[in-house]
Amino acid sequence: MKKKYLRILISFFILLLLWQILAIKVQNEIILPKPSTVWNTMCVQLQDPLFYTSIVFTLLRISLGLIIAFILAFFISLLAYFYPWFKDLFHPVLTLIRSIPNISYILIVLFWFGAQTSVIIISFLILFPTMYATIEQGLTDIPNEYHDLMKLFPAKKYTEIRCIYLPFLRPYIFTAILTGLSLAFKVGIMAEILGQAGTGIGRQLNVCRLQLRMEGVFAWTIWIIVLLAIMEKGISIVKQKNLGNKQRIGNQR
């Protein structure tokens, strides 16, 4: 584990060194600011209340889109699994959602709705197909032994979902959330920029772009990477603990 982190640290310093060399060669802060300039900007941002407000608003919008996409993907995938006729009816809708380019979603939704609401709707539309596919794959991978068990000991659908389907789907659920999180950040912030949201990370990136403050664009980009890494790490820890507890209970049985 120590060797792994050491390799990551070495890679980070190599990238930082290359950045510094390129910045010195370019000698233009508008095109490529130095790492030290970006670092100073990040330190200044930490003292600005607007920095925290922007992060909170963006996280709220992205989280709402992610939660709505997951809940609908979970229940619709279950309906499609239990009722083949529903899967056939829903297939054209799913194909349509998957086929429309992301930029078209963004432009159409921004035209129909306000900038604040659009981020949530766009995040949902783009995340839903990915989450649906992941959960559907999990349902398909359920071993036949489980189905035989349910035939021998029939129970209500709610009990089957809670006691059999949900525990088996946990790894797929965590995978769907982790995959959707990075995509939600990219799409959500892009929607904030194009929609010119009043508050949010996208708003701050747009202001830096208009004012030709490239160090601000780099600083916010690094903060996005840091935020995403922290959230993904938190979800991974919960996943490990959750699946670890499940495995220990299985071993005890």
3-state SS of 61-130 is: HHHHHHHHHHHHHHHHHHHHHHCHHHHHHHHHHHHHHHHCCHHHHHHHHHHHCCHHHHHHHHHHHHHHHH
Nearest CA to 119 out of 59, 65, 66 is that of 65
pLDDT attached to residue 249: 40
Residue 187, pLDDT > 80, answer yes
pLDDT at residue 252 in the model: 42
Q: Residues 219, 34: contact at Cβ < 8 Å? A: no
pLDDT at 219 over 90: yes
Count the Cβ atoms, other than its own, within 10 Å of residue 12: 10
Structure tokens at 42: 């990040």
**pLDDT value at 146 more than 70:** no
pLDDT value of residue 53:
92
> What is the predicted pLDDT for the residue at 111?
80
CATH 2.40.100.10 fits 34-252, yes or no: no
pLDDT digit string, tens, across residues 36-46: 899 999 999 99
Checking if the pLDDT of 143 tops 60, the result is yes
Answer with the residue of higher pLDDT: 230 or 252: 230
Give the model's confidence band at 154: pLDDT under 50 very low, under 70 low, under 90 confident, else very high: low
Ramachandran region, residue 27 (left: φ > 0; alpha: ψ -120 to 50; beta: rest): left
Lowest mean pLDDT among 158-162, 169-173, 188-192, 207-211: 158-162
Reported as a pLDDT band with limits 50, 70 and 90, residue 210 is confident
Predicted structure pTM score: 0.81
Q: Specify the pLDDT at position 251.
A: 47
Mean pLDDT of 179-199: 82
Average pLDDT over residues 95-103: 81
> Is the pLDDT score of 50 beyond 70?
yes
Q: Computed over its alpha carbons, how large is the radius of gyration of the chain?
A: 22
* Residue 147 banded pLDDT, cuts 50, 70, 90: low
| Segment of 113-127, 154-168, 171-185, 201-215 carrying the highest mean pLDDT | 201-215
Question: Across all residues in the chain, what is the average pLDDT?
Answer: 82
Q: Give domain limits for the chain.
A: 1-32, 34-252
Those residues whose C-beta lies under 8 Å from the C-beta of residue 40, and which sit 6 or more positions away, are: 215
